[in-house]
A = this chain, B = another copy of it.
Amino acid sequence: MRLNPVLSPTAMSKPADMPSANPLQQLDKQLCFPLYAASRMLTKAYQPHLQELGLTYPQYLVFLLLWQYQELTVKQLGEQLLLDSGTLTPLLKRMEQKLWVSRRRDPRDERSVIVGLLPAGRDLQQRAGHVPEKLLEKLALTPAAFEALRQQLQNLLTQLA
């Protein structure tokens, strides 16, 4: 049995022995797998750039929103990022420990927690300024291909959520 790496699909040969009975049950016929793998590999591509700043990929996503809006509730962050408090609460606590963000109850609605930028978190925006360009480079997509893919993924996301 010869298995070729998933990264050279053109060189991928059929398995010599009994194939899967259900042709839809093949990894290389799935949409889910390239989506899953590409997402992880893209996150990994961010890693070296983000590591310099001491932050992780989901923390970076939180910052993208905070840099834009200055402050957001946990609920708003969750709506934008499609993450729940089980993920966000501990993540935000780690960001709070680093003095990047503040967390306080909304006085007008004590159920809500408002997450705001602290100076150190604000300063990170400049230092992270080169990150998008670096990644765009790595992707090596034309603007049109980039936008087309972004749009398809956005549609898929809308369909799934």
Contacts and interface: CB of A to CB of B under 8 A. Distances in A.
A110 to B, nearest CB: 20
Question: For the side of the interface on A, what is the size category?
Answer: 35 or more
A3 interface: yes
Copies of this protein in the complex: 2
B6 A80 contact: yes
A120 interface: no
A69 to B, nearest CB: 6
A87 to B, nearest CB: 10
Interface in A22-41: 22, 24-27, 29-41
Interface of A: 1, 3, 5-9, 15, 17-22, 24-27, 29-46, 57, 61, 64-65, 67-70, 72, 76, 79-82, 125, 128-129, 132-133, 135-136, 138-141, 145-146, 148-150, 152-154, 156-161
